Amino acid sequence: MKINSLSPLLSAGKYKIQNAENKNTTQVDSTSHFQNQISDYPKGYIKIYHSFGNSQDEPLTIDEQLNIEKERLITQARNDYLWAMSWNPESGKKEAEEKAEKEIALRKKKAAVFLSNKTQEKIRNTYNHTYEKNKKLYDKVMANRDYYENLLKGDIKTRLRSAAEIMRSTRGSLNREIAGYSELKNSMNTYFVEPVTKEMLEGGEQKVINAMLLCGPTGCGKTAAAEAIANETYCCQDRVKTDVRPERFSDVLKGKRKEAVQRYYKKQAEIDRLKNSPEYANMSHEEQDEALQKIGSPRTVIIIDEFDRYFNPATCSSDTIRQNTEAVKVLFDGCAKLPKKDDSYAAAVTFLCTTNYPKRIPLGEININKLTPFAVLPPEGNDFEDVLRFYLNKANILIYENKQENPSLKMIDTKNLKLSKFVEHFAPSLEKGAFSNDAIKFLVTRAAETYIDNPKFEFNIYLLREFKNSVRDIRPEKLKQYNEQLKAHGLLEKIDAPDIDEENNSELENIEEKIRYLSQNEFFLTPDQKEELEQLRARREELLGENN
């Protein structure tokens, strides 16, 4: 249910309450009541607890009241279903906890030094109570899902989709083309794939990431990941070719942005014509999705490989580096927003950049909100196992193609094959180095070819021999260098929040701890955090001056 569908009710600001005893009708101001309800529930959902009378002065008849009450209950049930399909208990719980901690932090800041444990617990209980109410409603809807779905039959326009439904409308490139890297893929789905797909299917504007920087050693799949992310949605794709001279980089970016804006208006016009056509209104949900996918999203994805080459002091003058830095700071700022006449940089564009040398890129000047970095390192643990199993399935295709000529060949049982010890033995280490994705693919393929030529032993023997006899293509010194670069940019491990004893420490000691925590990751602070850091430093100077 779109919020603008309630605008007549909100603008009216009043509704009627029937007094059962004297049959008088009382006008009640409902504006603040609505605002409270709207803010109390998750986005995309508004709860209605009362019925609305007509605009006449005389009381409603019993039949009119019954019909209104019936309609209210149906509307409420439909709204409950729409909300439940857009809500996730796990993320809802996490959101409640985060809100509680945010409020506690704010209250601590206002209290300057001390906020009692009892008050903190009360705040947490309040948010937890709201979560429990939402969870109870969610469970009720899920237990009676058939009933709720029957209410929505034929009412496609008001139906909201769950994240799972949205993701089923993508091409599936990420999982099909990229093995492992589960955390990276989850981030890509959250920041880009899901909002872009939802925007195309349901309309409206979603919050989409401006630019991503995939950092890591050669052969770990950065470019493949960028291409898979771009292919996952139905966006237009463009590329800044690696033969573009650094001196021309800023001009090329401006040209790409201009083309993207023109492309957006053209594609959006096609989508609007389709959605306003009588044929579209009579289509099923699946037919509508298919028709929209044929047109595609009006957004553009621009891939920039070897992003560091435009900031490399060995090949670029200081003026060129400064010019390119300024161009990125300006053009990457809000570029993912949909174009508007009053916004000269919104272009419905997301940049996907890759680099082997993040140290060369002035990330601190560009800001994480404009260019968000992600680590793409040699696979380890479950990711290593997923990558290995992915290429073993590819090897099975080779074996199957040769099985007719040599019936003695056996297919690899990739589902039941236990790989944990194998992965542990060949996992990345600073002492031995690491196998990149490209190396794993090469070794598995070579093991399969050797097995096909001479199936004297089982395939596993050949695979183990290939890994044991091969030199890791990412050498220890190189892996250490990458780890240090990525760690310096806060990409490998999160810095633990300071453990501050606000009750026993002095105000100066608490401020010192907070400054130490924030300054460790100063390059990637949000604007609010930067402002907080400046205020803390100013307050520290005041306290030091008072002590002197």
Rounded distance between C-alpha atoms, residue 78 and residue 165, angstroms: 18
Can you give the pLDDT at residue 189?
Answer: 84
C-beta of residue 410 within 8 angstroms of C-beta of residue 417: no
Please tell me the number of Cα atoms within 13 Å of 280 on its side-chain side: 15
Nearest to 379 by CA among 229, 222, 523, 522: 222
Rounded distance between C-alpha atoms, residue 510 and residue 499, angstroms: 9
What is the side-by-side strand order in the sheet with 211-215? Answer: 236-240, 300-304, 349-355, 211-215, 372-375
The two three-digit tokens of residue 320, written as one number: 């060129």
Give the pairing of strands 300-304 and 236-240. Answer: parallel
Does residue 357 sit in helix, strand or coil? coil
Say how far residue 426 (Cα) sits from the centre of its chain. Answer: 31
Rounded distance between C-alpha atoms, residue 250 and residue 169, angstroms: 35
Rounded distance between C-alpha atoms, residue 295 and residue 306, angstroms: 31
Please, which residues bridge with residue 434 across strands? 474
Residues 6+ apart with CB under 8 A from 501: none
C-beta of residue 498 within 8 angstroms of C-beta of residue 533: no
C-beta of residue 256 within 8 angstroms of C-beta of residue 168: no
Q: How many CB atoms lie within 10 A of CB 466?
A: 17
Q: What is the DSSP letter of 434?
A: B
Three-state helix/strand/coil letters over 103-170: HHHHHHHHHCCCCCHHHHHHHHHHHHHHHHHHHHHHHHHHHCHHHHHHHCCCCHHHCCCCHHHHHHCC
Give the pairing of strands 300-304 and 349-355. Answer: parallel
Q: What is the DSSP letter of 190?
A: I
Amino acid in the structure at residue 496: D
Nearest to 316 by CA among 362, 269, 256, 264: 362
Please, which residues bridge with residue 239 across strands? 303
Rounded distance between C-alpha atoms, residue 65 and residue 19, angstroms: 13
The two three-digit tokens of residue 123, written as one number: 């705040």
Rounded distance between C-alpha atoms, residue 287 and residue 91, angstroms: 31
Can you give the pLDDT at residue 530?
Answer: 66
Q: What is the pLDDT along the chain (548 residues), one digit of tens a residue?
A: 333 333 222 233 333 333 333 333 333 333 333 333 333 334 333 333 333 344 445 667 777 777 777 777 777 777 777 777 767 788 788 888 888 888 888 777 766 656 778 788 888 888 888 888 888 888 888 888 777 777 765 454 445 566 666 677 777 777 777 777 877 888 888 888 888 888 888 777 888 888 988 888 888 888 888 888 888 888 888 999 888 899 999 999 999 999 999 999 999 999 888 888 888 888 877 788 888 888 888 999 999 999 999 999 988 999 999 999 998 988 888 888 888 877 677 889 999 999 888 888 887 777 666 888 888 888 888 888 888 988 898 898 999 989 888 888 889 888 788 888 888 888 888 888 889 888 999 999 999 999 998 888 888 899 999 999 998 888 888 888 777 776 665 555 444 445 555 556 677 877 887 787 666 555 445 555 666 777 888 888 888 877 66
Rounded distance between C-alpha atoms, residue 314 and residue 325, angstroms: 16
Indicate the angle between helix axes 437-453 and 381-403, nearest 10 degrees: 30
Please tell me the number of Cα atoms within 13 Å of 25 on its side-chain side: 13
Backbone angles phi, psi at 174, to 5 degrees: -60, -50
Burial group, residue 376, by CB count within 10 angstroms (0-12, 13-18, 19+)? buried
DSSP letters, 281-340, are HTS-HHHHHHHHHHH--S-EEEEESSGGGGS-TTTS-HHHHHHHHHHHHHHTSSTTSPPB
Boundaries of every domain in the chain: 3-151, 161-375, 381-473, 494-547
Q: What angle do CA 489, 495, 498 make, to 5 degrees?
A: 140
C-beta of residue 382 within 8 angstroms of C-beta of residue 376: no
Cα torsion through 94, 99, 100, 104, rounded to 10:
140
CATH topology of domain 161-375: Rossmann fold (3.40.50)
pLDDT tens column, 305-335: 999 999 999 889 999 999 999 989 888 888 8
Give the pairing of strands 300-304 and 372-375. Answer: unpaired
